[in-house]
Structure 1
């Protein structure tokens, strides 16, 4: 249940940005969650709804989540690809030798502040 600590860090980061920009309130928080980030999206949303109540700036914020696909660079054929759900091989040459280039992280993408 690491979603709790991730949400706490997200709210802290949002509050730091609000203070740095002399905002009164945060209205929208946009995050990008990678398919292999290990974040359970529904649990993440529930934790956010619970913990935003204790935030000076995030009480009224709407959380908007974009799920990032799993992108790879094949080390055999040099093809950049997006892997489909539960398929972990290059779609071009079917190699399992690849480097993940996107889809393992969670990123704060944008804040809408007042």
Structure 2
């Protein structure tokens, strides 16, 4: 479960910026093609934030769909799953979104 180490890094990064201030919320973007499972991150966040200023913080995760641009038919396609295949049948595609894994914002207490 690589989500545990990813979530620990997330918590460490947020703490590096917020110090000892209480954190009310963390907003993430985890693309559906990133290979990271949002539900696993939610579970791990509760575990690794215990006894830190992030304990009890609300974790919000935006999950953008995968999008590709086909080099064969030049269409932009929203992917219904993780299969990198254009509706025309071509696998010659460029991923344009869905691989994101980033902290978008952090809400700190006063």
Aligned to 2:90: 95
Measured at CA, do residues 6 and 77 of structure 1 come closer, stay the same or move farther in structure 2, by a change above 3 Å? Answer: same
Q: TM-score, normalised to structure 1's length?
A: 0.83
> Residue 61 in 1 paired to residue 90 in 2?
no
CA contact (8 A) 2:42 2:59 kept: yes
Aligned to 2:2: 2
For structure 1, the residue ranges without an aligned partner over 5 or more in a row are none
What per-residue deviation string (whole Å, max 9, x for no partner) do you get for residues 59-108 of structure 1? Answer: 131101111100111111222221112554323x3322101121123111
For 1:78 and 1:10, how far apart are their aligned partners in 2?
A: 37
- Cα root mean square deviation, aligned: 1.8
For structure 2, the residue ranges without an aligned partner over 5 or more in a row are none
> Residue 105 in 1 paired to residue 100 in 2?
yes
The SS at the match of 2:15 is: helix
> Residue 28 in 1 paired to residue 25 in 2?
yes
Aligned to 1:70: 66
The SS at the match of 1:10 is: helix
The SS at the match of 1:59 is: coil
What per-residue deviation string (whole Å, max 9, x for no partner) do you get for residues 15-58 of structure 1? Answer: 12213xxx721111011111121112222111110111132x21
Aligned to 1:16: 16
Aligned length in residues: 109
Aligned to 1:80: 76
